[in-house]
Amino acid sequence: MLPLAAEKFPATPDELATALAAGLSVRGVQAKGVHAAGAGLAEIAELQVDLTGARCTRDFRVSTAPVTESAAVEIAHFVVMGEPMDFEGTPLRLNLEAEGVSCGFAGAPRDGTLVLTSATGGSLVLAVAHEALEALLHRLAKGVAEKQGVEIRQTKLTLTARGPRVLSFRCTVTAKVFVMTAELSLSGDLEVDEQLQARLSGLTLGGDAMITKMAAGFARPYLDKLEGRTIPLLAFGLGGMRLRDVELATADGLEIRAKFGRG
């Protein structure tokens, strides 16, 4: 689902592109470009939404109202990409391509959505480089630790694939506590389902006894909230489309690949 913002629902490909760009903008996402080409809404040859360089946060939301016109828009080739886009300071590579797409409008024109209802075939890639993941975890650990008077000096992340949709992770931080340097590790499992939601489990703290005991006091409540929680990985939902062949790869960081549609 992609957000729309206009006085009335689009009636031409150009109006659709303008409404999509405006819908993203009012939610704080500045698209590099939105282009639609075709003879009419029922004959769009290509719709491309380029989010390269755009910034997005966890506060991004789109309307979840029901579709009012289930087949108002037909798109031969549909692309959403970010090479990369920025998610709260972390570069994220996004590539969604679909063929034979049917879409509908939902909600009200000023706060509406373009909802994918079907596609003959499509693919999705969502990827974060290893160093970007480490930098993200370092920022998160630093933010929590500084409140406890702990200085985080280094963060290392190890990912190990355990199946098509499951991986194990171990994040080790080197911290300075008073005049001593010690290591603390967080390990667990991450599983991604067919709705592109991640679930964390088996979260365990380890490392040097002194800092592990200290960290357990302030970190355990955070970990208990995360244990078993599902976290959406894609701000731009796929409407009624269901993913299949979801796979995780960990060679160069974290990459999630999936297919959808009838193909």
User: Considering its fold, how many domains does the chain have in total?
Assistant: 2
The verdict on residue 154 lying in a domain is yes
Give the separation between CA 215 and CA 232, rounded to whole angstroms: 27
* Length, in residues, of the chain: 263
* Co-location of 113 and 137 in the same domain: no
Peptide bond into 84 cis (omega under 30): yes
* Co-location of 139 and 110 in the same domain: no
The reported pLDDT for the residue numbered 240 is: 62
The reported pLDDT for the residue numbered 238 is: 67
The verdict on residue 254 lying in a domain is no
**C-beta separation of 111 from 5 below 8 A:** yes
Q: What averages of pLDDT result for each successive group of 10 residues across the chain (263 residues)?
A: 92 96 95 96 97 89 70 91 92 94 90 90 94 91 78 92 93 83 89 88 84 72 83 70 85 91 65
Query: CB under 8 Å to 68, separation ≥6 — which residues?
Result: 104, 105, 106
The residue segments making up the domain with residue 169 are 130-232
* Co-location of 67 and 140 in the same domain: no
Q: Which of 99, 119, 139 is the last residue of a domain?
A: 119
The reported pLDDT for the residue numbered 222 is: 78
The verdict on residue 246 lying in a domain is no
* Co-location of 114 and 172 in the same domain: no
The reported pLDDT for the residue numbered 235 is: 66
φ/ψ (deg, to 5) at 132 = -70, -40
The reported pLDDT for the residue numbered 239 is: 63
